[in-house]
Amino acid sequence: MFDAEVIHTIAQNGVHAPKVLPKISPSPSIGYVVSKRLLDIVAVLLLAPFAIIAALGLLVLNPIFNKGSLFFRQTRMGQNCVPFTAYKFRSMTETAPVKRGAFDALEEDRITKLGCVMRTLRIDELPQLINILKGDMTLVGPRPDFIDHANVYIEEIPGYCDRYTVRPGVTGLAQTEVGYVSDEAGFRHKVAADLMYIRKMSLLFDLKVILRTVQIVVVRHGK
């Protein structure tokens, strides 16, 4: 659906590749800003009932399969590198983890069985509707990273900071076309995908990313 070869080229040859992508525009059009915000509000209204149902269901299931608090809060990097608190349904055990480095693999052994289902169906992301309403996040955009890790990526990954010229998103091109990564090469590909999105972003492109996200969730669920 999207040009994986372009993403790979940017990741390999640097994020400032004028022959591959045009420069980031100084600011999006007013029309796009307004339409994107309207899309966010419509998405919140449509998804809020599912979030409420999920919360009620988890209140019943958590004591059995995922003991502990319902929500997980984490400080993440937002637009213009300003930190904010992101909300999720907790999908991992509450046991104190060993501090994970910026390029360390995810502690999959801490993800509960219920948490695996939540992550596969993206249910754990539903509380980020609160972040969308607050204006911390938008529906489509670069995913915000944990603040400690983001500070490392800024120093290590060329172009990483440019991702935060726009509001971070619940889903994005890097999530649909690159997926989960834990090494530097993988992060370069994710940054390349995010910068490709920023350079090409439009309401139509956002809708394509949303449809791609739905497609991925449905296909994974069908396996």
Please state the domain extents for the chain: 4-222
| Overall average pLDDT of the 17-28 stretch | 54
β-strand partners of 88: 72
Strands in the chain per DSSP E: 71-77, 83-89, 138-140, 169-171
- Gap between the Cα atoms of 24 and 21, Å rounded: 9
Distances (CA, A) of 66 to 18, 109, 165: 48, 13, 37
Crossing angle, helix 203-222 and helix 113-120, to 10 degrees? 140
Is 65's pLDDT higher than 90? yes
pLDDT at position 98 is: 61
pTM listed for this prediction: 0.85
CB 127 within 8 A of CB 38: no
> What does the pLDDT look like over 146-202, one tens digit per residue?
999 999 999 999 889 989 999 999 999 999 988 888 788 888 889 989 998 998 899
Q: Rounded to 5 degrees, what angle do the CA atoms 206, 215, 199 make?
A: 25
33-42, 89-98, 123-132, 156-165 — which is least confidently predicted? Answer: 89-98
Which residues touch 151 (CB under 8 Å, ≥6 apart)? 77
- Gap between the Cα atoms of 97 and 101, Å rounded: 12
CB 169 within 8 A of CB 140: yes
> What does the pLDDT look like over 107-152, one tens digit per residue?
888 899 999 999 988 999 999 999 999 999 999 999 999 999 999 9
Cα R_g (the chain), whole angstroms: 17
β-strand partners of 75: 85
- Gap between the Cα atoms of 204 and 210, Å rounded: 10
pLDDT at position 22 is: 45
Is 212's pLDDT higher than 80? yes
- What does the mean pLDDT of the chain come to? 86
- Gap between the Cα atoms of 144 and 134, Å rounded: 15
Is 3's pLDDT higher than 70? no
| Overall average pLDDT of the 27-40 stretch | 92
β-strand partners of 155: none
